[in-house]
Amino acid sequence: MEPIQSSLKKYMQESGWEEALQRVRQDVLTEKRVHDWLFANGEALSAGAVEQGMTALLEYKNSWQNCDQCPGLDKCPNPMTGHQPELYPEHGQIHMRYHPCPLQKAATRRRKQEALVKSLYVSAEFKKATLENVDIDDTDDRRSTALKKAIAFAHEVVPGEEGQGLYLHGMFGVGKTYMMAAIANALADRQIQSMLVYAPEFFREMRQAIGEGSVDEKIDAVKRVPVLMLDDIGAETMSNWIRDDVLGAILQHRMTEKLPTVYTSNWDYEELEAHFSYSNKGGEERMKAKRIMERIRPFTTELYLSGRNRRET
């Protein structure tokens, strides 16, 4: 009986497989990356290592060809999506491993950044906001000053050591929320977590939380975040409970722990204080309003954001 090895070899010769395998082998060994790696690491390889490592060399060659013609992360054809191959010698043999490619690294950074910027009721479009893209007017010193202060805050603030925040106010549509979101994204680059909260919706939900028994849990999440951003403060329907037991508790903790807060509002300090003086049940409580403002005014830098209404086309 003819040995199986002889039969297999004869079959490969007659079918053309052996010739095809030799062409593949030649293509692999003459590919520049493979050739350069073998030249640089030849002394570390045992006799026969190239033949034994041919499968790894072929995968290395093909994966790099995929990378050279990258179709994008979503369509990556490599065995490990978003990863590039690397050859290395070990115990005289050829081995291969994969490392994240630049696109995968960028996607990972984006996911980490988005995890650092938590948003409650704020549009997802602000996830890409940058301070570099904030519109400025060379003839408008106040808008330029606000941007400079925002940049300085984003690059210098240290929650827990420096509790000074920002109070951005101005008319509708001038870009206050965009600037706030851009600050949040810049903080994320420094690995500083922030939370963007649309104040009217948050306070409305707090009223619902009473029946759910989750008031303390929701307050804790907001008051302990390293940098809190309250968007459109003053637009909410005010009540004694929201002012004193919710907002007051949040700001008291943040003041004590030196955690900065950034606000946007259509009103300046005086107008906001007047807003806090009244509740939906009527009456005026100026001292309680002043108590809240004493946790805002001394701990923020007031910035007036001027300009046209960018929501109007």
Q: What one-character DSSP code corresponds to residue 80?
A: S
Task: List 96's β-bridge partners, or say none.
Answer: 87
Q: 118 pLDDT band (50/70/90 cuts)?
A: low
Task: Please enumerate in sequence order all residues whose Cβ is within 8 A of that of 212, keeping only pairs 6 or more positions apart, or say none.
Answer: none
**Rounded CA gap, 234 and 137, in Å?**
27
Digit-coded pLDDT (tens) for 1-48: 455 455 545 544 555 666 777 888 888 899 999 999 999 998 999 999
Task: Please enumerate in sequence order all residues whose Cβ is within 8 A of that of 186, keeping only pairs 6 or more positions apart, or say none.
Answer: 130, 131, 151, 154, 155
Q: How many CA atoms lie within 13 A of 274 on its CB side?
A: 5
Asked whether residue 58 carries a pLDDT value surpassing 80, the answer given is: yes
Q: How many CA atoms lie within 13 A of 168 on its CB side?
A: 30
Residue 31 confidence (pLDDT): 92
Digit-coded pLDDT (tens) for 137-186: 766 778 888 999 999 999 999 999 989 999 999 998 788 999 999 999 99
User: Is 20 exposed, middle or buried (CB count within 10 Å of its CB: 0-12, 13-18, 19+)?
Assistant: exposed
Residue-range domains of the chain with CATH: 31-100 (no CATH), 107-304 (3.40.50.300)
Give the CA radius of gyration of the chain: 31
Residue 154 confidence (pLDDT): 94
Digit-coded pLDDT (tens) for 268-292: 999 999 999 986 666 678 899 999 9
Residue 5 confidence (pLDDT): 53
Minimal CA–CA distance to 233: which of 196, 192, 260?
A: 196
Minimal CA–CA distance to 235: which of 295, 275, 292, 194?
A: 275
- Can you tell me the mean pLDDT for 200-219? 82
Residue 232 confidence (pLDDT): 93
Token reading at 293? 């403002």
Digit-coded pLDDT (tens) for 235-244: 888 888 889 9
Asked whether residue 308 carries a pLDDT value surpassing 80, the answer given is: no
Q: What is the 3-state secondary structure (H, E, C) of 149-214?
A: HHHHHHHHCCCCCCCCEEEEECCCCCCHHHHHHHHHHHHHHCCCCEEEEEHHHHHHHHHHHHHHCC
Q: Lowest-confidence range among 24-33, 105-114, 224-233, 258-267?
A: 105-114
Asked whether residue 233 carries a pLDDT value surpassing 90, the answer given is: yes
Residue whose pair of structure tokens reads 């590919």 in the numeric block:
31
Contact predicate 249/219, CB 8 Å: yes
pTM of this prediction exceeds 0.85? no
**Rounded CA gap, 154 and 51, in Å?**
56
**Rounded CA gap, 70 and 48, in Å?**
33
Digit-coded pLDDT (tens) for 251-272: 999 999 999 999 999 999 999 9
